[in-house]
């Protein structure tokens, strides 16, 4: 059976047995031929379940729930002697994620996204498509940040090699399945490498820069050190293109309307994304010490407080 989701809401299946306020959810565990040790971060598992009931659930909500039982179903063997409780398993979880990244990195150096995405669904002539298997500069950046920390914690050079391979997609054009697009002659690392025109999402681009910068600290001995070059190349692009995201009263989420030549309205950022843009600009100032990023961040903070630039 093909599994479409990893968590189910079972509360409707218990016919009134929830009178005492108990909730019932099920999780899918992937099939394995050998014994596998699972680490369950209970607050996170509870939060995933609660989000089926209310998408605005937070981690603090999850901490108010107490798991009272765990049951297993399906063909399995369980080693009961190995069940144990831990207050902290952060390092174990961290290293397992690091190994997962190594195991699932493909031949092109990426971690393909296994879902289709369609943008501008209501604009029949201006739809932008991503078929399942696309790569994201933001995802690659997050992976680079993680691999840098994994190498720092372990000294295992497998993580360095994986990071070097992950940089390759930043140099491959979106037209060839990579994540590098161009706008007005400047390279842009696409969170969503849509075709035939790009999206140019601001937060995804800066997150890619975060990962490239993180990894460059541990990649200096490499003959390529491509992450450092890619980081500074991205900074050059951002310095020139960042003003295009400024509307005079709020930031834009992306620039997808630019290449569509007026056929689509600008995509103004929600306030939470506007706040994220400010945080990312503050990070850029902290890393580069360039007043340019600090000045734009301050102006965008003023927009949050009601500033609207005067007209002519």
Whole-angstrom CA distances from 209 to 69, 190, 250 are: 44, 11, 22
What three-state secondary structure class fits 227? helix
Question: What confidence score (pLDDT) does residue 13 get?
Answer: 58
17 or 180, which is more confident: 180
Question: What confidence score (pLDDT) does residue 2 get?
Answer: 44
Question: What confidence score (pLDDT) does residue 186 get?
Answer: 98
Residue 153: which pLDDT band, with cuts at 50, 70 and 90?
A: very high
Q: What is the mean pLDDT of residues 47-52?
A: 80
269 or 220, which is more confident: 269
Residue 16: which pLDDT band, with cuts at 50, 70 and 90?
A: very low
Q: Is 209 a residue whose pLDDT tops 60?
A: yes
CATH topology of domain 90-304: Glycosyltransferase (1.50.10)
d(CA 245, CA 78) in angstroms, rounded, equals: 54
Whole-angstrom CA distances from 295 to 165, 279, 291 are: 35, 13, 6
Give the pair of three-digit tokens for residue 261: 């030549």
Complete DSSP assignment for 152-205: HHH--HHHHHHHHHHGGGGGSBGGGTSSEEEETTEEEE-SS--BSS----HHHH
Q: What residues contact residue 90 under an 8 Å CB cut-off, 6+ apart?
A: none
Range from 23-27, 111-115, 173-177 carrying the lowest mean pLDDT = 23-27
* Domain regions of the chain by residue span: 7-82, 90-304
Q: What is the mean pLDDT of residues 237-253?
A: 98
Question: What confidence score (pLDDT) does residue 86 get?
Answer: 66
What pairing do the DSSP bridges indicate for beta strands 7-9 and 128-130?
unpaired
Q: What is the mean pLDDT of residues 230-249?
A: 98
Q: What residues contact residue 8 under an 8 Å CB cut-off, 6+ apart?
A: 25, 26, 27, 28
Range from 74-88, 126-140, 218-232 carrying the lowest mean pLDDT = 74-88
Arithmetic mean of pLDDT over the chain: 87
């Amino acid at each position: 059976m093909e599994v479409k989701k990893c968590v189910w809401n079972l509360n409707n299946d218990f016919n009134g047995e929830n009178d005492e306020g108990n909730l019932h959810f099920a999780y899918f565990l992937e099939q394995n031929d050998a014994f596998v040790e699972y680490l369950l971060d209970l607050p996170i598992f509870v939060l995933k379940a609660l989000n089926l009931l209310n998408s605005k659930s937070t981690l603090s909500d999850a901490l108010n729930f107490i798991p009272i039982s765990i049951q297993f179903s399906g063909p399995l063997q369980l080693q009961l002697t190995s069940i144990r409780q831990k207050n902290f398993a952060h390092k174990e979880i961290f290293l397992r994620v690091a190994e997962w990244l190594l195991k699932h990195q493909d031949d092109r150096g990426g971690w393909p996204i296994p879902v289709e995405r369609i943008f501008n669904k209501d604009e029949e002539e201006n739809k932008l498509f991503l078929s399942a298997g696309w790569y994201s500069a933001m995802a690659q950046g997050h992976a680079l940040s993680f691999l840098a920390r994994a190498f720092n914690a372990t000294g295992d050079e497998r993580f360095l090699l994986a990071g070097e391979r992950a940089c390759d997609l930043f140099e491959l054009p979106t037209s060839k399945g990579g994540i590098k697009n161009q706008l007005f002659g400047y390279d842009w690392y696409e969170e969503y490498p849509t075709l035939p025109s790009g999206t140019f999402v601001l937060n995804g681009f800066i997150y890619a820069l975060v990962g490239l910068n993180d990894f460059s600290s541990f990649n200096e001995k490499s003959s390529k050190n491509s992450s450092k070059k890619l980081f500074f190349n991205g900074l050059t692009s951002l310095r020139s293109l960042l003003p295009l995201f400024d509307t005079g009263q709020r930031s834009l989420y992306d620039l997808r309307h630019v290449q569509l030549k007026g056929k689509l309205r600008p995509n103004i950022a929600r306030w939470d994304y506007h706040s994220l843009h400010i945080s990312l600009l503050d990070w850029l100032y902290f890393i580069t010490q360039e007043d340019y990023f600090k000045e734009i961040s301050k102006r965008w903070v003023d927009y949050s407080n009601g500033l609207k630039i005067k007209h002519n």
